[in-house]
Amino acid sequence: MVFSSISFLYYFLPITLLLYVIVPKKAKNFVLLITSLFFYFYGEPRYILVLIFSCIFNYYYGKYLEKAPANFKKKLLVINLVVNFGILFYFKYFNFFLENINYLFATNLSWTGIIMPIGISFFTFQATSYVIDIYKGDIKSAKNVFTFATYLSLFPQLIAGPIVRYQTVSGELENRTVNFDLFASGIKRLIIGLAKKVLLANVLGELTKNLVNLTTQSVLSYWLQAVANTLQIYFDFSGYSDMAIGLGLMFGFHFLENFNYPLIARSITDFWRRWHISLSSWFRDYIYIPLGGSRVSNYKKYRNIFIVWMITGLWHGASWNFILWGIYFAIFLMIEKAFLLTILDKHKVLGHIYTLFLVLISFIIFNETSISNIILFLKNMFGFNHLHFANIETIYFLKNYAGVIIISIIASIPWLKIVKKKMSLGNFSAKVLSIMEPVFYIGLFIIVTAYIVDESFNPFLYFRF
């Protein structure tokens, strides 16, 4: 079940909200737990036991670790990491591992029955951060297994994040309230996320599909694919994060922001402070800093960056293009840390152009499944295969989708947010805004619903992670 579906918006969510409102305060977590497990079971019935095992295992392990003797805690933590990441490795990487063994040793090993459970990367990282934070003494263990299971399986962020740490919501798991303003903010954020996903990401996905299937390609068609694909990934994932944050607010939870207009970044370092913030901060706190972070020799500092970004690439998928994608970012982050960041800070326009170009190239690597396809795409993009710059088909799709591309670019920068803020400061404009805002959101939701009913192309790209 996806958020941008009729079954979720008009059946699951209203029924869940109704049950949540009518039950007493002590039973609200239980309602969220049961509905969240149903939500997961609806989309992934085969592997719901993996999620339930993670809930039970990590809760009781955290309790035991908390009370264990200090000299025994590190060994217990290592065992927990082996179990959690062993399960993740089996479901997500085992076939990839066998493929590479077959290639290296000319064997024919296979284990085709493995299918990756949806969202396993996200709930594994959340469970692991919970146990690590108990080990470090940063948090106390959950009150009971049902509270922890509610946290780990909470449907707004279960499938594709953001990665919510227990310490962020521990207080709200025990005691939270929802007032009209908070609920209204949640609805507005949900609608914005739906619009990003349905009206922008899905349409950009259709454009990419049409461009891939062109009878005759051109240099311009490859550039359009690169731009459309980058914008699609951004609005797909940031739209999901907006919906998750909005749904959290509707139930009284404050999830941290996961995107902060990354396409206005002026360096790759700045980009990764703005893109998928919950993941980059997870790797920073649980891998980069324990390795020594930046407070080590230059060799170790660059080694740490390389390790973290290779793992970041691998986290996104069991494929060499993802590993290459991580190494690609590692190289530029190391160069920036060495000297380039100082130059980019002084030349902000240049920094912005540099960042957009590298990000555009990065998502070609991200999207193409083989190294040969990546090389071919880049050659065609830069005119090395003697393609015409443009043709009739490319111009046709450019004209037809120019509107959505322009709207997507405007939506990827904070201009509208700034205008809204300025309007709210004036008495007359604030009154106009208060009248127009509900009309805008209701109208936007109606349009989104119409698109959902009408279209068949509605995948969430980040479900595969």
- Which domain-ending residue is among 161, 176, 191? 176
Q: What is the pLDDT of residue 321?
A: 94
Label each residue of 32-44 as H, E or C: HHHHHHHHHHHHC
pLDDT digits (tens, 9 = 90+) for 397-451: 999 999 999 999 999 999 888 887 877 777 777 777 778 888 999 999 999 999 9
Give the pLDDT score at 113.
75
pTM of the model: 0.93
Looking at the domain assignment, is residue 461 inside a domain?
A: no
Instruction: Please tell me which residue in 254, 316, 352, 388 is annotated as part of the active site.
Output: 316
Q: Rounded to an integer, what distance in angstroms lies between the CA atom of residue 229 and that of residue 364?
A: 8
**The domain boundary residue, chosen from 176, 202, 222:** 176
Is 394 a domain residue? yes
Helix 180-195 / helix 427-454 crossing angle, nearest 10 deg: 50
Q: Are residues 203 and 278 in the same domain?
A: yes
State the 10-residue block means of pLDDT for the chain, 465 residues long.
Answer: 91 97 94 96 90 97 94 95 96 91 86 84 96 96 95 93 93 92 96 96 95 94 97 96 97 96 97 96 96 92 96 93 96 96 93 97 93 94 92 95 96 87 76 84 95 71 55
Whether 87 and 189 share a structural domain: no
Q: How many domains are there within the chain?
A: 2
149 plus 196 within the same structural domain: no
Is 386 one of the annotated active-site residues of the chain?
Answer: no
Task: Give Cβ neighbours of residue 339 (< 8 Å, ≥ 6 apart).
Answer: none
**Does residue 268 fall inside a structural domain?**
yes
Provide the residue type at 202 as one letter. Answer: N
Cα separation of 11 and 420, whole Å? 33
Asked if 306 and 432 sit in the same domain, the reply is yes
Give the per-residue pLDDT at 415. Answer: 86
Identify whether 284 is part of a domain. Answer: yes
Q: Are residues 307 and 413 in the same domain?
A: yes
User: Are 395 and 431 members of one domain?
Assistant: yes
Neighbours of 249 (CB within 10 A): 23
Shared domain for 275 and 404, answered yes or no, is yes
Query: Is 465 within a domain?
Result: no
272 neighbors 288 (Cβ within 8 angstroms): no
Of the candidates 154, 176, 198, which is a domain's last residue? Answer: 176
Asked, for residue 463, whether it belongs to a domain, the answer is: no
Residue 194, exposed/middle/buried by CB under 10 A (0-12, 13-18, 19+)? buried
Residue 462 within any structural domain of the chain: no
DSSP class of 264: G
Contacts of 373 (CB under 8 A, 6+ apart): none
Same domain, 285 and 144: no
pLDDT one-digit tens code per residue, 77-100: 999 999 999 999 999 999 999 989
445 and 386 fall within a common domain: yes
- Domain with 417, as residue range(s), is 182-454
Examine the domain organization and report whether 346 and 289 are in the same domain. Answer: yes
State whether the Cα torsion 341-314-139-304 is positive or negative.
negative
Examine residue 93 and state whether it is found in any structural domain, yes or no: yes
- What's residue 464's pLDDT? 54
Q: Is 148 buried (19+), middle (13-18) or exposed (0-12) by CB count in 10 A?
A: buried
Same domain? 280 vs 382: yes
Say if residue 146 is in the same domain as residue 223: no
**Residue for token digits 């390790």?**
307
